A and B are shown apart, each in its own frame.
Chain A
């Protein structure tokens, strides 16, 4: 019996430590926990805002940090909520994670970054863990092997994150993360991150939209329409290269997406910007000025497309 307890202690210790790690990662402290909280806050806002017609902005951080939902609401007169989250969650998990809040009359504006559009399987680094963190493990039909691995890692805080959190406590007196800043009543970010580490370089788009992404967006369109809502697509603004390959890939992407739903973008520039001063910390994230300019342009495209 003594030997049995001795052996069991391994599993008990592992389970208990994993539990601590899970709490840190998914509930409070780790990057995933802040993302989960932001998602839950946005979903709560979307559930709260009741109107015959709403605009829901969906995507990764390339949508979260680029559209000013409040400005759009003011210009279009339609309640607008930014429920975009994070690219590494993957298209196949992002889309089902917002389906529940879509209702009849809504206009769903999906602005997926190229990371999502070019992906071949629809899953990213956070796919399995995000689903588990929001209480829906396996959301988006994450393959069993990846899900098992992601769930295992969900209880591992990592030395790097633990050190960062410890420094946070010492320096700021609280834990912080990339998504830990509050969002507005429209789901917009309140703090803009600045690029500090490296110099700007032009992003190149090496391929066009993947067949998997096209199929998944097509399926999403059906899910949206089944709820009596309308799907509209948008191309991301990027600080990018204007080389022929990038331009050709974006043009092809826009054409393919256009076969599914209306696509909002500048036909001349294809939303490729060559001025980095509009951008915040990444090639997708805009600073407040950039977000206002981008939103005004989007509103005009919206009106021109005559979407109802």
Chain B
């Protein structure tokens, strides 16, 4: 759901107020049945989905019905029949995703490379569903695929109620942009769902909501207008805008995920934390354990491990393939493939050169090895973000060329970079960066303290209330679109 759009909160409010009023009155008259809670949640989720995107909702409903019937059938079959059904469902789910998300890219950017004029001919054709990617498709497809595989491999082959399945795949806080929940984590909480509207859940929900809103509306949305993609000549600015984008994408997606966690808490559902202070990482390995956790583990369990099978000696190769595919999942464009491959390569470099490097660093007494590891990791992530943010491949190459040309790092270019923004703009940016770095420092402290989560400090009673105050005072009044909605 698009938490940036007022219409999400408006529809939620217009549904929730009468629904919970009726529920309260009916409960006091002893007329309410438990199943009405599950029905209410399903209606609320579907209602919000229709409001978010009618076209995506139609595809979503077809996929729900198809997946549920097939899983229902699969759970009644044994051995190869069950495997066949699971395979068919996964192939069809991925085919639907491929049709809407990758067909254009495949025809225009892959076939178009070898067949002259194909891209223009293709663009002139009117093919259903080729306008834009239906919101949420990438996320709910993965959740549905995961559910099929987990149901196939689960020991308990008990039938699944249709209502429970609908609630599992359409749970409104996370259906459109994750976290991509697994059957073992979410399904037990959703099965025979009952609203748990307790003071503790509300308190906890508000704290996560407050953190998420602050990250999205204060940090990400105030950083967004400063990023200028068309700056290609000045390497200082290219680095700086990539750095800003590195901050924006984390606060944008982290903000979304924490708002989802908060909304889940309100109704008594615990969602997986999708981010674990990723910018505190001291290696790329660690970064990927902390960044978009549910996607990383999804690729690990459903792509990397099955691909590798028992060929452990080819693990690095399969790792590289998995990361390239993960990049491709983010978007049907060359830059995302490059981004995935870049991270795959970084992991390989770390695997083969990491140990001697860290050993060397550890022997130095004055070099602050932890800080150097962190700086190298963060620098690599920023460079990666350049691949991620720049969808124009030609311009991306121009920027990379500018970055690797030493004499471009001149003082005059530095001067231009330092005076790029006007006085008011520069002051607002400095203040936004001050808030951003403050938040990242608190995450770092959270990591050092090794509490229940890395965000313990940020969701503490006082801090979360301070964040609410800062959000109301400093939220941008024109929110930028969620970056991950494009995927």
Contacts and interface: CB of A to CB of B under 8 A. Distances in A.
A10 interface: yes
Given A156-B475, A159-B431, A163-B428, A10 B468 contact: yes
Interface string B206-239: 1000000000001000100000000000000000
Contact of A10 (B206, B422, B476): B206
A149 B6 contact: yes
Contacts of A9: 465
B427 A158 contact: no
B199 A7 contact: yes
Contacts of A7: 199, 202-203, 206
Contacts of A21: 472-473
A145 B10 contact: yes
A152 interface: yes
Contacts of B203: 3, 6-7
B424 A157 contact: no
Nearest to A149: B6
A160 B428 contact: yes
A13 B199 contact: no
B370 interface: no
B338 to A, nearest CB: 34
A145 B472 contact: no
Given A7-B203, A18-B472, A158-B475, A167 B10 contact: no
Interface centre among B200, B206, B468, B474 (most CB of A within 10 A): B474
Given A10-B206, A163-B431, A152 B6 contact: yes
B375 to A, nearest CB: 28
A23 to B, nearest CB: 12
Contacts of B199: 3-4, 6-7
B473 A156 contact: yes
Nearest to B218: A159
Categorize the interface residue count of chain A. Answer: 20 to 34
A159 B468 contact: no
B7 interface: yes
Contacts of B431: 159, 163
Contacts of A10: 206, 465, 468
A178 to B, nearest CB: 13
Nearest to B10: A145
B162 interface: no
A156 to B, nearest CB: 5
B120 interface: no
Interface string B448-477: 000000000000010001001100111111
A215 interface: no
Contacts of B222: 159-160
B465 A157 contact: no
B391 interface: no
Interface string B5-35: 0110010000000000000000000000000
Given A10-B468, A21-B472, A162-B473, A148 B424 contact: no
Chain A contact residues: helix, strand, loop or mixed? helix
B202 A13 contact: no
Interface in B263-315: none
A13 B474 contact: no
B5 to A, nearest CB: 10
Nearest to B435: A159
B432 interface: yes
A164 B424 contact: yes
Contact of B474 (A145, A162, A167): A162
Contacts of B428: 159-160, 163-164
A167 B422 CA distance: 13
A158 B476 contact: yes
Contacts of B477: 153, 156, 158
Contacts of B432: 159
A18 B10 CA distance: 18
A192 interface: no
Interface in A242-256: none
Nearest to A156: B475
Given A153-B477, A159-B222, A167 B424 contact: yes
Contacts of A159: 218, 222, 428, 431-432, 473-476
Contacts of B476: 158-160
A222 interface: no
A183 B472 CA distance: 33
Interface in A133-152: 145, 148-149, 152
A164 B477 CA distance: 15
Interface string A45-80: 000000000000000000000000000000000000
A14 interface: yes
Contact of A14 (B10, B218, B427, B472): B472
A20 interface: yes
B251 to A, nearest CB: 13
Contacts of A3: 199-200, 203
B423 A167 contact: yes
A17 interface: yes
A17 B423 contact: no
B261 to A, nearest CB: 16
B10 A13 contact: no
Interface string B178-200: 00000000000000000000011
A178 B167 CA distance: 51
A157 B476 CA distance: 9
A13 B6 contact: no
B469 A157 contact: no
A74 B423 CA distance: 42
Nearest to A12: B465
A187 interface: no
Contacts of A162: 473-474
A225 to B, nearest CB: 38
A160 B423 CA distance: 12
Nearest to A157: B473
Interface centre among A4, A164, A197 (most CB of B within 10 A): A164
A149 B10 CA distance: 9
A167 B431 CA distance: 12
B319 to A, nearest CB: 41
Interface string B414-436: 00000000111001100110000
Contacts of A18: 472
Q: Report, nearest first, the 5 A-B pairs whose CB atoms are least far apart.
A: A159-B474, A3-B199, A163-B428, A17-B472, A149-B6
26 contacts: A3-B199, A3-B200, A6-B199, A6-B203, A7-B202, A7-B203, A10-B465, A10-B468, A17-B469, A20-B473, A145-B6, A145-B7, A149-B6, A153-B477, A155-B472, A156-B472, A156-B477, A159-B222, A159-B432, A159-B473, A160-B424, A162-B473, A162-B474, A163-B431, A164-B428, A167-B427
Interface of A: 3-4, 6-7, 9-10, 13-14, 17-18, 20-21, 145, 148-149, 152-153, 155-160, 162-164, 166-167, 197
Given A7-B203, A158-B477, A162-B473, 13 more contacts: A6-B461, A9-B465, A13-B465, A13-B469, A17-B469, A18-B472, A148-B6, A149-B10, A156-B472, A156-B473, A156-B475, A159-B476, A167-B423
